[in-house]
Amino acid sequence: MIYFDHSATTQIFPEALDAYVKTSQKVFANPSSLYDLGSQADTLLAQARKQIAELMGVFSSEIYFNSGGTEGNNWALKGTALEKRKFGQRIIISAIEHPSVYETAKQLADLSFQINLTPVDQHGFVKIDELEKLLDKDVILISIISVNNEIGSIQPIKEIAQLLENYPTIHFHVDAVQAIGKMAKENYLPKRVDFATFSAHKFHGPRGVGFIYLKKGKRLAPLLAGGGQENNQRSGTENVPGIVAMAKALRLTIENQNEKSRHVLALRDTLGQFLKFYENVCLFTNLTDTFAPHILTFGVKGMRGEVMVHAFAEKQIYLSTTSACSSRKKMPASTLQAMGIPKNIAQTAVRISLDESNTVTEVEQFIEIFSQLYEKFANVF
């Protein structure tokens, strides 16, 4: 079995799983409880928060735990809308956002907020000059994905942050789900960023847990009211085992990050250079350092992406059609359409997403299987 779908989810680290199991068995009390076992859970919660904050280079008070990227993105947008509605009702997102941002923005549009899409160029990068044209006193939030989940384009977060130095009242949110552990922190969390969202299952932690960076002094209206957990910002009994496991996974992910990224990049480039030789292959990811090292998206002309995914699955090689959130809906890649790629070409897109656990041998096996499948389907070209 070859797993090339790490952008959809990753396998939990054994050490993180062990931390989850031990915490679940030994410190199972509610961290809000007053007795000793509850205090132990609360201590573990504080330790995990401190560890994550140190790894991120921020204050412990700026880390808030939640259920993952979708909740974090919803909170950044809706929390800003509720908190700043009296100051303005314009929100800017890019045309290549994850569905958890795009669909949230649509909900806010139904509530009379004005949503502006800032366009991207033919390679999938936000146009800074077009974004600047949208800025005025009514804008309350800009939300930009750091690494596009469909093709891996690294968005110019640092340049946008520099632009927003002149607009201190605008909240700046970054969806950093695909970035953490893959690149230097300054590429997705420069000082001007006010909120950033992260999801544990993207870096070998458990599913259903994540965190949001919320800059000190910035305010988000809470989405969940109740017992006042997370400093009254996110009510609900904390998932202590999941949070402890997430902190462990993040530490292991960041260890030797540069070496891991070089390994993954070498695998991506080997695959990309191989695919470039095929006349009927469209390579949507550029083999440059402006694209994340772990994502490679391509299509075979005349072959719908889901057909290719199933063909590889029969050989126990697991890929996806650009986004796990839309693959079962058989939707064309929204990013590719935003880049101006025709729908019939966008529908061919298949995403390989790699991890440090992948090997040269696996890449060689993929190349062999691809060659066989390409010959088998040659009659559709």
**Which of 192, 190, 187 lies closest to 146 in space, CA to CA?**
187
User: Is residue 302 within 8 Å of 348, Cβ to Cβ?
Assistant: yes
Distance between alpha carbon 355 and the CA centroid of its chain, in Å? 14
The confidence score (pLDDT) of residue 327 equals: 47
The confidence score (pLDDT) of residue 67 equals: 96
Tokens of 293: 């090292």
For Cα atoms 199, 189, 327, give the angle at the middle one, nearest 5 degrees.
40
Encode burial over 47-69: b for 16+ CB neighbours within 10 A, e otherwise.
ebbebbbebbebeeebbbbbbbb
The confidence score (pLDDT) of residue 29 equals: 87
Residue carrying structure tokens 């735990």: 65
Q: In the Cβ-directed half-sphere of 38, how many Cα atoms lie within 13 Å?
A: 7
Radius of gyration of the chain (CA): 21
The confidence score (pLDDT) of residue 323 equals: 59
User: Is residue 23 within 8 Å of 245, Cβ to Cβ?
Assistant: yes
Q: What is the set of domains in the chain, with CATH numbers?
A: 2-9+256-380 (3.90.1150.10), 14-254 (3.40.640.10)
Q: In the Cβ-directed half-sphere of 315, how many Cα atoms lie within 13 Å?
A: 18
Active site residues: 325
What's the residue count for the chain?
Answer: 381
User: Is residue 212 within 8 Å of 180, Cβ to Cβ?
Assistant: no
The confidence score (pLDDT) of residue 325 equals: 56
**Which of 348, 291, 271, 337 lies closest to 151 in space, CA to CA?**
291
Q: Tens of pLDDT along the chain (381 residues)? A: 999 999 999 999 999 999 999 999 999 988 888 888 888 999 999 999 999 999 999 999 999 999 999 999 999 999 999 999 999 999 999 999 999 999 999 999 999 999 999 999 999 999 999 999 999 999 999 999 999 999 999 999 999 999 999 999 999 999 999 999 999 999 999 999 999 999 999 999 999 999 999 999 999 999 999 998 898 899 898 999 999 999 999 999 999 999 999 999 999 999 999 999 999 999 999 999 999 999 999 999 999 999 999 999 999 999 999 755 554 554 446 899 999 999 999 999 999 999 999 999 999 999 999 999 998 887 765
pTM here? 0.94
Give one word for 181, left, alpha or beta, with left for phi > 0 and alpha for psi -120 to 50.
left
Cβ-Cβ contacts under 8 Å for 190 (sequence gap 6 or more): 157, 158, 161
In DSSP terms, 199 is beta-bridged to 210
**Which of 354, 340, 333, 351 lies closest to 123 in space, CA to CA?**
340
The confidence score (pLDDT) of residue 89 equals: 94
**Which of 165, 129, 159, 133 lies closest to 146 in space, CA to CA?**
159
